Chain A
Amino acid sequence: MYISRLYIYMFPRAYITQNWQHIHHLGLSRNTTRLPCLDRMAGKQNDLAEALVRSGLRAELMPQHVALVLDGNRRWAQARGFTTPEGHEAGGVALRKIVELSCAFGIRAVTVFGFSQENFRRPQASSHSSIRSMISVLTEEVDYIMELIERLIRDNMDLFMREEIQVHVVGDPSRRPASLQDAAREAEEMTRSHSRYHLILAICYSGRWDIVQACRELATKVQDKLLRPDDIDESMLAGHLATNVLGDQLGCPDLLIRTSGELRLSNFLLWQSAYSELYFTDTLWPDFGEDEYIKALKAFQSRERRFGQRKVM
């Protein structure tokens, strides 16, 4: 016992490679079957166990749904003398890594705040030439980010297929360019049969928009006489929110992580985050890697979380 604990602290990787058979205490055993699919599942379970033992996390306390606010790409680029597009590209790389880690840790759902509706806002139009040029520059940035998100979706299809991740894209579709719409639709179609993990990309999303669109759906049902206005309650409204694609069990994030030191939700998952552990870190998003993720998960696991009787979504 002393040897294994010391190894975890001082030589985590050596422990994993030399003593991995001790992982059976987590309820897993070496699979001796010859069936490839079971070998693959056993392999994944062993990967999960290895990842958890390595990090000191407890499997039974792992959050099922993690939400991420990816903030700080621009500051990261500034600090290193890079351009902002390079910062956003680095952010994309970090996102892929975190999604892979989430699968390795057995986190069933990850929701990512990719682009806010507030990000569309422009300074007031004016005849002043500097304002007009700023508007033009902002339009370029918005277009670039949309194109980057589209590219990220397409370039990571291999990850989605390999890890059996179902992709959902939520947000106001009317504000997304057509090519991004197509990429989102294709990703959703190709991953529709996956049920192991879920990735929600919130693009052109806002928490208030989510609540209002849920009201619109309910009003449409009232109009079609599928329900009466009096029937509308918390759970019915919650059932029509964008994150309802995950169902009741996974709809609300257990942990919400925001990087770059900002301490606010910025109109993200306002309804769904009622009982989410809020973890704010000064680390900029492109630097948010395995160590930072483990820190966030450990902070989640160390909290005493009690919610009395009000556990509705």
Chain B
Amino acid sequence: MSRPAIILKLILGLLWVIIHLTISLFNLWSLLIYNLQCYLISSGLLRKYQYLHLDRLNYLAIVVDSKEAKNTVKIRQLLSWLSTMGVKHICLYDIEGVLKRSFEPFMNGSKDEKARESLDIGASMNHSHYGYKNMVIDCLSGSDGKEGIAKAADLLCSTYFNGETHGNGKKEPKFTEADMASALKAVGCGGPEPDLLLMYGPARCHLGFPAWRLRYTEIMHMGPLKSMKYGAIVKALYNFSQKYQNYGKLLGFSTLNCSPAKSMNSF
């Protein structure tokens, strides 16, 4: 190889290293800024995060990767933080039921009737007061998700089939969403729709959280459980409190009259 080619190769190699270094430094800078912000929020130095308006947060869901859910120390710390922030009703979910098994020995079976009635909780939900001040906690697993919907479908079909064997002639089944909701309650998989769902884990997915209850839930990915931060949770709750939801309704076409619409979303 000729000398100019070698020099060119070295220069290009150097440029490549510089580009990678720049990108890495940028990522590091972003991480530092994020950690600094979380620290400032935790220490109460950022005023706008000091008072959380959680009026719209009736029900918070926490989805945890099952591998990370085994870290019960972190889970308890998370629950403690949420209790401090004033969250009243929480649902813990992991697909393999690790959280259910971990927290089951501590369940005292006490029930908060008012909370159940106001939030339309299903008949046989497991929940308890964990010693976290005024906080009700539910634990769900994959059996409450897709399996639960399948059981509800089984119940609907059985009920319909039994009705038909006593009836005259065949009628097309006319199930409605209300029928499915009732069936889910009957099989013990009913429950309120979370207003906010926080995901802890490597992947940004809800891991089979009960699908029927996810229609308009705000979903935020919080990263790995082991690196959870108080400030990050405060920020998530603050951002949620600033959100506007129109629940799928179209809010004005404005279009044909050529005046700006006040609405935001079409979904």
Contacts and interface: CB of A to CB of B under 8 A. Distances in A.
A274 B219 contact: no
Contact of A214 (B15, B153, B172, B254): B153
Interface residues on B, range: 35 or more
Interface in B10-33: 12-13, 15-16, 19
Contacts of B150: 232-234, 236-237
Given A260-B265, A308-B96, A267 B252 contact: no
A306 B96 CA distance: 13
Interface stretch (B51-59, B109-117, B200-208): B200-208
B216 interface: yes
Contacts of A304: 202-203
B95 A310 contact: yes
A220 B175 CA distance: 11
Contact of B153 (A137, A140, A141, A218): A218
Q: Would you call the interface of chain B mostly helix, strand, loop, or mixed? A: loop
Nearest to A215: B153
Contacts, number: 224
Contacts of B19: 6, 9-10
Interface stretch (B42-50, B72-80, B121-129, B155-163): B155-163
Given A306-B202, A310-B96, A2 B16 contact: yes
Contacts of A215: 153, 156-157, 173, 175, 180
Given A121-B248, A140-B253, A69 B267 contact: yes
A5 B204 CA distance: 29
A274 B146 contact: yes
A6 B211 contact: no
Nearest to A143: B253
A216 B255 CA distance: 39
A266 B212 contact: no
Interface of B: 9, 12-13, 15-16, 19, 65-67, 95-96, 142, 145-147, 149-150, 153-158, 160-161, 164, 170, 172-177, 179-180, 202-209, 211-212, 214-221, 243, 247-250, 252-258, 260-261, 263-267
